Structure 1
Amino acid sequence: MSAHTSRFPWNLLVGFVLSIALTLLAVFVTFYTDFSSSVILWIIGAFAIFQAIIQLFMFMHVTEGKEGIINVINIVNSMILALIIIFGTIWVLTSGHAAM
């Protein structure tokens, strides 16, 4: 058996610090800016997406192992399908009044 060398998990620390920073930025944008509500929601949504990506790669180790790239492809396909469903639903619900 080979000797196990322990090293400091820098990627976990970086992911943790980035997650805390994004959360604090979202709080700052919400409480201390004069943006409109829709702009604040878009900014918070962008921070949330970026934080989800950070957590997938830093904490859940999506790319590690033999099937790492397959996991990433599956996640991207799921996101595309979810966006199609969301925007398709919005499109149908907002343009349905024209058929009446």
Structure 2
Amino acid sequence: MSQSHVKANEKHPLFPIKNVIGFVLSLILTFVALGLGAAHILPFGPIMLIIMGLAVLQIAVQLFFFMHFMESDGPAYHVIGLTIGIINAVAVIGGTIWVMTFNSQVH
């Protein structure tokens, strides 16, 4: 075997335990959010805050376990892309809330 093939196998083990852990964490976060929404054990506001917190955790799991966010050796282009994505998400969500609030004030 060549040196590059041996190094590639060292970097990527046969059993992808990191992907399995990320998948299980994603399932747990999803089912906790679903259970909270379906059980109606708390008022609407606290449930929405908890579900939003779980969504942020879900984003972190996706970034670190599946998208290998911190494993890059090169320039930090992924940080720039993530920043642009966050700005776009805030603009879309903020604009949607603003439009919905304006619509409720008109009627």
Q: What's the counterpart of residue 37 of structure 2?
A: 30
Q: Does 1:59 align with 2:66?
A: yes
Alignment counterpart, residue 20 of structure 2, candidates 13, 18, 39:
13
* Structure 1 CA distance for aligned equivalents of residues 95 and 30 of structure 2: 30
Q: 1:93, CA displacement in angstroms?
A: 5.8
C-alpha RMSD over aligned residues: 2.8
Q: Does 1:80 align with 2:87?
A: yes
* Structure 2 CA distance for aligned equivalents of residues 68 and 44 of structure 1: 34
Structure 1 spans left out of the alignment, 5+ residues:
none
Q: 1:42, CA displacement in angstroms?
A: 2.7
Q: What SS does the aligned partner of 1:19 have?
A: helix
Q: Does 1:41 align with 2:44?
A: no
Residue 35 to residue 68, structure 1, CA distance change in 2 (3 Å): farther
Q: TM-score, normalised by structure 1?
A: 0.68
16-25 or 30-39: which moved more? 30-39
Q: TM-score, normalised by structure 2?
A: 0.65
Structure 2 spans left out of the alignment, 5+ residues:
none
Q: 1:92, CA displacement in angstroms?
A: 6.2
Amino acid in structure 2 at the alignment position of 1:76: T
The number of residues matched between the two structures is: 98
Residue 88 to residue 28, structure 1, CA distance change in 2 (3 Å): closer
1:63, 1:72 within 8 Å by CA — same for their partners in 2?
no
* Structure 1 CA distance for aligned equivalents of residues 18 and 59 of structure 2: 15
* Structure 2 CA distance for aligned equivalents of residues 91 and 27 of structure 1: 27
What is the percentage of aligned positions where both structures have the same residue? 34
* Structure 1 CA distance for aligned equivalents of residues 93 and 67 of structure 2: 26
